Chain A
């Protein structure tokens, strides 16, 4: 105790000095607005720095949850991506022009079921008669042709895909500019390739030529891609090439398709039917 008193006595002036200075500082802050703002700003800056440091630390520990949230958000945003949606004009738009008469109308649809492993593959789409889809309409996707509608209910339609032994497509060789042969799916084990048949060995086809739909097709508009020639074989003693075509559509992941409605089809079919009937009648008369 004595030691403490002695110490205090010896350094009382220091103590006094410090006390008075603290008092002065308090006075300065208390009674001088300018200095007070400076002080408070400074202290706020320091406390802000400390709290931001704190925040950073907690942020680090919260990274896992943040990440989860971000993933969720990402998924939500991804769901809203443009690619996931289809512009679905229920009332298909028809041009009423006297010079250019609209021949094709496109009805968008989404694929519900799809197979590629069977011998005869069919695709179900989510549009049917209520959207104007009916039998014998061509279907193509963003990358190329897909098939043709074989049956339709009110809200759904069945599409016979190109990967079907009964499907044949009339092709056009883009580089040569004319239609030859027919495209069929022969190699059942490989859904990536079709064969272009009935091409005469004197045709100047080459690997890399583009195969598209022909203008003579009932189902498709012209120039919808089918695929690219992958290889050309020439079997011995045969007049036809065996041409392997790589399909431009990956049938494994088709999702949005467009159904082609040929506005003149009924008229055409009727006309052709009439001609055939008249021929038959003539023959019958003979």
Chain B
């Protein structure tokens, strides 16, 4: 339990650093820079253990979003999106705990025990919801088709691949260690 908390705290710090000091400052290109805004910190919300209580999930999501907001100076936007993701994630992963905890012998992350297809859908759906809310609220419907929608599409795929990569790197199967 404590180990889990420490693990997730470490992951949170790592994601925070990556998000705030690397990804938010990288500028890809000049005229199309607005397209590349990956938000990988939500990986933490996606990877929180399914056994966690729904209330805690919502609260933790909220605080994660709020922390990011403090660094990016967009008070409340990321928090709102994260709270929504945490809330909906609670319903998605409600019954997973029973499926995988039965065969939880090594300390692998729980997502690696699910099928790749499920994982992709799970990731992409929640990332899309989050990005949609964040970018829409950020620009509030102005130039939706020309600016917001492309940003959402590009950033969702970037975030998705970055999160997949990070998950692969950080949570390697135990036999490779």
Contact = CB atoms under 8 A, between A and B. Distances in A.
B75 A13 contact: no
Contacts of A21: 80, 83-84
Interface string B47-76: 000000011011100100100010000111
A85 interface: no
Given A28-B137, A34-B140, A13 B76 contact: no
A207 interface: no
Contact of A31 (B75, B87, B90): B75
- Indicate the size class of the contact surface on chain A: 10 to 19
Interface string A185-219: 00000000000000000000000000000000000
Nearest to B87: A17
B126 interface: no
A24 B90 CA distance: 19
Nearest to B79: A24
Q: Is the interface of A mostly helix, strand, loop or mixed?
A: helix
Interface string A82-107: 00000000000000000000000000
A35 interface: yes
B50 to A, nearest CB: 15
Nearest to B142: A38
B137 A35 contact: yes
Given A26-B76, A28-B75, A31-B76, A12 B83 contact: no
A13 B79 contact: no
Contacts of A30: 75-76
Given A13-B54, A13-B58, A16-B59, A32 B83 contact: no
Contacts of A23: 76, 79
Contact of A32 (B55, B57, B62, B75): B75
A155 interface: no
Contacts of B79: 20, 23-24, 27
Interface residues of B, number: 21
Q: Which of A17, A27, A31 has the most B CB atoms < 10 Å from its CB?
A: A17
B76 A27 contact: yes
A32 B74 contact: yes
A25 interface: yes
Contacts of A31: 75-76
A14 B55 CA distance: 9
B77 interface: yes
A20 B140 contact: no
A24 B79 CA distance: 6
Nearest to A24: B80
Interface string A2-24: 00000000001110110011011
A38 B141 CA distance: 10
Contacts of A14: 87
Contacts of B86: 17
Contact of A17 (B58, B65, B74, B76): B58
A8 to B, nearest CB: 12
B65 to A, nearest CB: 8
B140 A38 contact: yes
Given A21-B84, A38-B140, A16 B75 contact: no
Q: Which of A21, A24, A25, A30 has the most B CB atoms < 10 Å from its CB?
A: A24
Contact of A25 (B57, B65, B69, B80): B80
Contacts of B57: 13
B31 to A, nearest CB: 22
Contacts of B84: 17, 21
A21 B65 CA distance: 12
Nearest to B53: A13
B75 A17 contact: no
Given A35-B77, A38-B140, 7 more contacts: A16-B59, A17-B58, A20-B83, A21-B80, A27-B75, A28-B77, A30-B76
Interface of B: 54-55, 57-59, 62, 65, 69, 74-77, 79-80, 83-84, 86-87, 90, 137, 140
Interface of A: 12-14, 16-17, 20-21, 23-28, 30-32, 34-35, 38
17 contacts: A13-B55, A14-B87, A17-B84, A17-B86, A20-B83, A21-B83, A23-B79, A24-B80, A26-B76, A27-B79, A28-B76, A28-B77, A28-B80, A30-B76, A32-B74, A32-B75, A35-B77
